[in-house]
Amino acid sequence: MSRKKRILVVGEAHHIFEESCDHEAVFLEHQDYHAYLRLLKAAKSRFQVRVHGWCLLPNAAHLLLRPMRDAGDLSCCIQYVQRRYSQDFNQRYGRDGPLWQGRFRSALVEPGQWLLADLRYMELLPVMEGLTHSVSRYRWSSHGARMRGGPDGLIDFDASFLQLGPDLSSRREAFRELLTVGCEARERERIEAGVKRNQYIGSRAYADQLETLTGERIHFRGRGRPSKK
């Protein structure tokens, strides 16, 4: 059975998922995580893609990206990072062969409540996967840049985050409260199913909008909403 067609839309946020071959680690040391994020920063500028969030796990990467110029730039951005990171990684550790398992997966993310839920999911993943006991202690997600800032310039705050308050301090506090709610099992299942099926994360109304915009059929899978604030 062929994989469902991946739908990319310019100006829309996409949850991108890259998984390693055979679930092997592709981030072994701190320098590996730093190298990947440097490449992502270069690619965002090169292909005019905004980076709203990320979470790097030892054998996978979750990214929340928005192509601003052309939908195809999203694929170019991921391919640029994957190719150069694979070359550097193989040279650094004396190995051959691909690092990433096939094509990346992608789900369109509805603005507002669902986008905030997706960000919450990404930044809580290290805790849910047992890699840390505290979101703030995990260095390889967008949480630090979102909540404390940094000189790297990688993160682009999405309108959904900006609408949480009149200033950065209040927005951070509101998002911190969202994190304390946690990611419910049903919400996590909905997000992961959308990504796995190259589908969407959001409401039926959002799916209808996407069908009108793209002319593509989007199959509905389940109901449910993200947890309220």
H, E, C per residue of 80-123: HHHHHHHHHHHHHHCCCCCCECCCCEEEEECCCHHHHHHHHHHH
**% the chain with pLDDT above 70:** 93
Alpha carbon distance 226, 12 (integer Å): 19
Q: Which residues pair with 112 in a beta bridge?
A: none
Backbone angles phi, psi at 138, to 5 degrees: -90, 120
CB within 8 A of 176, min separation 6: which ones?
A: 147
Say how many C-beta atoms besides its own lie within 10 A of residue 181's C-beta. Answer: 15
Domain count, the chain: 1
The answer to the question of residue 217 being in a domain is no
Rg (CA), the chain: 17
pLDDT tier, 149 (very low <50, low <70, confident <90, very high otherwise): confident
Residue 119 counted as domain residue: yes
More confident residue, 27 or 5: 27
Q: Is residue 34 part of a domain?
A: yes
Question: Do the domain assignments include residue 33?
Answer: yes
Look at residue 22 and tell me whether its pLDDT is greater than 50: yes
- CA 129 to chain centroid, in Å, comes to 16
Listed in order, strand segments (DSSP E) in the chain are 13-19, 49-57, 60-67, 105-109, 200-201
Q: Is the pLDDT of residue 123 over 90?
A: yes
State CA 70 to chain mean position distance: 18
- CA nearest to 104, candidates 65, 130, 139, 134: 65
Residue 195 lies in a domain: yes
For residue 134, the enclosing domain spans 13-212
Q: Which two tokens stand for residue 8?
A: 């990319």
Residue 51 lies in a domain: yes
Has residue 202 been placed in a domain?
A: yes
In a domain, 218, yes or no: no
CATH number at residue 142: 3.30.70.1290
pLDDT tens digit string along 33-77? 999 999 999 999 999 999 999 999 999 999 999 999 999 999 999
Q: Pick from 106, 99, 119: which is nearest to 74 by CA? A: 106
How large is the average pLDDT for residues 111-116? 97
